[in-house]
């Protein structure tokens, strides 16, 4: 079932779109400029090439990311945010502000990190 079909409200569709693991990290690494696949994989530490490829295809299908294939030898692929993808910048800033305010205590961050690791 498509993510678009699972949700009937715009809020639900928005959350379904960005809730996948690695999605917000990928988007955050694309905020400044187009990035090649290998560079994006290095920046998004811990993500497998398969998962990164799947998430990028998902984000491209959702209209948040644009893929460009450069006709060089060897061919090079880069990814950049669309206007819709760049529109998530305030969301990322809000998450950063919230994290700084409420998760600044290292012990809480460790608990959150442990919980997330156990869940995945």
The domain locations on the chain are 3-87
Q: Is 32 exposed, middle or buried (0-12, 13-18, 19+ CB in 10 A)?
A: exposed
Question: pLDDT tens-digit profile of 2-27?
Answer: 555 666 778 888 888 888 889 999 99
Question: pLDDT tens-digit profile of 21-39?
Answer: 899 999 999 998 999 999 9
Within 8 A by CB and 6+ apart from 58, the residues are 20, 23
Q: How far is CA 65 from CA 17, 21, 91, in A?
A: 12, 16, 16
pTM: 0.77
Classify domain 3-87 by CATH architecture. Answer: Orthogonal Bundle (1.10)
């Amino acid at each position: 079932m498509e993510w678009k079909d699972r949700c009937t409200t715009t809020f639900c569709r928005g959350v379904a779109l960005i809730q996948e693991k690695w999605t917000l990290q990928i988007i955050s690494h694309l905020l400044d400029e187009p990035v090649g696949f290998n560079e994006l994989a290095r920046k998004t530490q811990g993500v497998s090439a398969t998962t990164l490829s799947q998430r990028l295809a998902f984000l491209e299908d959702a209209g948040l990311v644009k893929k460009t294939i450069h006709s060089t030898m060897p061919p090079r692929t880069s990814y950049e945010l669309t206007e819709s993808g760049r529109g998530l910048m305030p969301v990322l800033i809000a998450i950063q502000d919230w994290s700084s305010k409420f998760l600044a205590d290292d012990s809480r961050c460790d608990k959150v990190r442990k919980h997330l690791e156990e869940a995945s």
